[in-house]
Structure 1
Amino acid sequence: MRPTALITGSSRGLGAAIARELAPTHDLVLGARSAASLEAITAELPGSTSWPVDLTDYDAVAASVPVNKLNVLVHNAGIADLGTIEESSVDQWRRTFEANVIAVAELTRVLLPALRAGGGHVVLINSGAGLRANAGWGSYAASKFALRAFGDALRLEEPSLRVTSIHPGRIDTDMQREIVAGEGGNYEPSSFLKASTVARAVRTAVETPADAHPTEVVLRPTGR
């Protein structure tokens, strides 16, 4: 019987790339906000299951948990709402922490019985911003520092699980294009990591033999 992997934010970009990497070896449950957004990736990957749910609607999440046994949980969904501390509003901070930390913590909590049953591996798509904060990235970096702390605590509390924090630099995705446009810069794809490269790092972490625990993976773009 093939292992099962649930990937959030899997309709496009990095999430879709991770789904493609894991599809040959895993049964996939692909999460996103709407069923329509998942149509293309589920059609591309026959046998995958669509799980449309707003991860910040905690009652809906709890009511629709799609598995009783889970081998891999990839937390990829998140937002990047950038701005200086002077420009940032209370709502921005709340939205960022809700999407990037609280929703992750609650989905993990709800899925803990399934993860324990599957000897599961939790993969947190963090960021270079989870290791260092830059000007204009305060609320986002703070949420990613918090996500790293969540992973550290989960690793200690659940010794039967593996927990890996992936810290990629900036990735060539639609979200990155929006960020660069907001910064007023010119978009040069070769300046960023390929989504497929980060997805391969996720697969490598998942496929690490059981005698090792890959706790953190840091990737930086080379510009090549």
Structure 2
Amino acid sequence: MATHFVTGATSGIGEVLATLLHERGDDLVLLARNEARAALLRERFAGCRTVVADLAGAVDLPDLPERLDSVVHSAGVVDVAPVADSSPGSLARTVTVDLVAPMLLTRALLEPVRQGGGTHVFVNSGSGLRANPGWASYNAAKFGLRGFADALRQEEAEYGVRVSTVYPGRTATRMQEQVHAQEGAAYDEAAWIRPETVAEAIVRIIDLGPDATVPDLVIRPR
């Protein structure tokens, strides 16, 4: 039975991914921001293990699994605003949650993934491939995450570990609703990628046979 460590499982792509893996009987280790969210995850995904850590603060992971088949970094935050209108706290929080926390989590989980011959999956964004005004802190974090994953891929290859980055375009999640509100734009979820589409692609990456790897996958709305 496979075991997966997933962040961001309380909503969006991470929640759909956790649902797919849980429904097929895989073991889940889910990261939650606080104990209240952890309790909700344990109720939603019976039998899962939870780890409580605020990605905006210190990341401490006691009692780690000895073996993992995958680690999927799906949690994230975004504040859409020009740099001049962004508070120092907002700029720092975006880079901490979207870049520093995945780096620290990855470092902590290197050995379990090596033991499982597993896969690190970074849910990035189209913002990790191109920069746009109003998205500077998010661009900075996602560009950095791309570079981190590219280096990690080369470092971990000798252990039989794969590293994949997924770049979804705009996806119909609560975060996308928030983005539209910040942009002052009307939101129509039918215009964007379904989170199920991205989650299903991640499952295929995790399940890939030993003869191949998917370093980068770009998914765009039609």
TM bucket normalised to smaller: over 0.9
Residue 95 (structure 1) aligns with: 93
Distance in 2 between residues matched to 1:100 and 1:180, nearest whole Å = 19
C-alpha spacing 1:146/1:152, structure 2 compared with 1 (3 Å)? same
Residue 194 (structure 1) aligns with: 194
Distance in 1 between residues matched to 2:195 and 2:176, nearest whole Å = 11
Which consecutive unaligned segments of at least 5 residues does structure 1 have?
none
Residue 131 (structure 2) aligns with: 133
Distance in 2 between residues matched to 1:55 and 1:175, nearest whole Å = 17
Shift of 1:72: 0.4
Residue 15 (structure 1) aligns with: 14
Residue 75 (structure 1) aligns with: 73
Residue 145 (structure 2) aligns with: 147
Preserved contact between residue 31 and residue 52 of structure 2 (Cα < 8 Å): yes
1:138-195 residue CA offsets vs partner (Å, 9 max, x unmatched) = 1101110100000000001111210000000111111111110111111101111111
Q: Which amino acid aligns with 2:98?
A: N
Secondary structure at the counterpart of residue 84 of structure 2 = coil
Shift of 1:36: 2.0
Which consecutive unaligned segments of at least 5 residues does structure 2 have?
none
Secondary structure at the counterpart of residue 86 of structure 1 = helix
Residue 27 (structure 2) aligns with: 27
Residue 123 (structure 1) aligns with: 121
Secondary structure at the counterpart of residue 77 of structure 2 = coil
Residue 180 (structure 2) aligns with: 180
Q: CA RMSD in A?
A: 1.5
Preserved contact between residue 68 and residue 116 of structure 2 (Cα < 8 Å): yes
Distance in 1 between residues matched to 2:11 and 2:177, nearest whole Å = 14
1:29-74 residue CA offsets vs partner (Å, 9 max, x unmatched) = 111202322444433332222222213443x514x24312111000
Q: Which amino acid aligns with 1:13?
A: G
Q: Which amino acid aligns with 1:134?
A: N
Secondary structure at the counterpart of residue 71 of structure 2 = strand
Preserved contact between residue 55 and residue 96 of structure 2 (Cα < 8 Å): no
Preserved contact between residue 80 and residue 183 of structure 2 (Cα < 8 Å): no
Shift of 1:10: 0.8
**Aligned residue pairs: how many?**
219
TM-score by length of 1: 0.92
Q: Which amino acid aligns with 1:101?
A: L
Residue 84 (structure 2) aligns with: 86
Secondary structure at the counterpart of residue 46 of structure 1 = coil
Q: Which amino acid aligns with 1:145?
A: F
Preserved contact between residue 33 and residue 52 of structure 1 (Cα < 8 Å): yes
Shift of 1:82: 1.8
Shift of 1:14: 1.4
Q: Structure 1 vs Structure 2: percent identity of aligned residues?
A: 38
Preserved contact between residue 56 and residue 93 of structure 2 (Cα < 8 Å): no
C-alpha spacing 1:87/1:95, structure 2 compared with 1 (3 Å)? same
Residue 164 (structure 1) aligns with: 164
TM-score by length of 2: 0.93
